[in-house]
Amino acid sequence: MATLDLKVLQSKLADARQEVRNLTVLAMYPDLTAEEAEATRKLERSARAEVKLRIEALKRAKMNSD
C-alpha cells in the first residue's frame, strides 16, 4: 500500500510540474491582454507553490515508509 501511495504522490508531483511548464509557456505569448497575463502569472505562482507542497508531501511519505 505504501508503494502505491508513493506512486500516486509522484504522479501528482509530475502533473503539477507539467502545469508549471504549460503556464510558463502560456505566459510567453505576446498576444495576451494585460488581464490574461496577470492571471497567468498568478496561476503559475500557485502551481509553483503546489509543486513545493507536493515535494514536501513526497519527502514525508518516503520518511514514513522507511
Q: Where in the chain are the domains?
A: 2-65
Which residues of the chain carry a pLDDT beneath 50? 1
E strand or H helix at 56, and its extent? Answer: helix 34-65
3-state secondary structure of 30: coil
Q: Are 54 and 9 in contact (CB under 8 A)?
A: yes
**What pLDDT, on a 0 to 100 scale, did the predictor assign at position 3?**
75
Tell me which residue of 50, 43, 52 sits closest to 25, measured CA to CA: 43
C-alpha cell at 54: 507536493
* Eight-class DSSP state of 31: T
* Eight-class DSSP state of 28: T
Structure confidence by residue, pLDDT tens digits, 19-33: 999 999 999 999 999
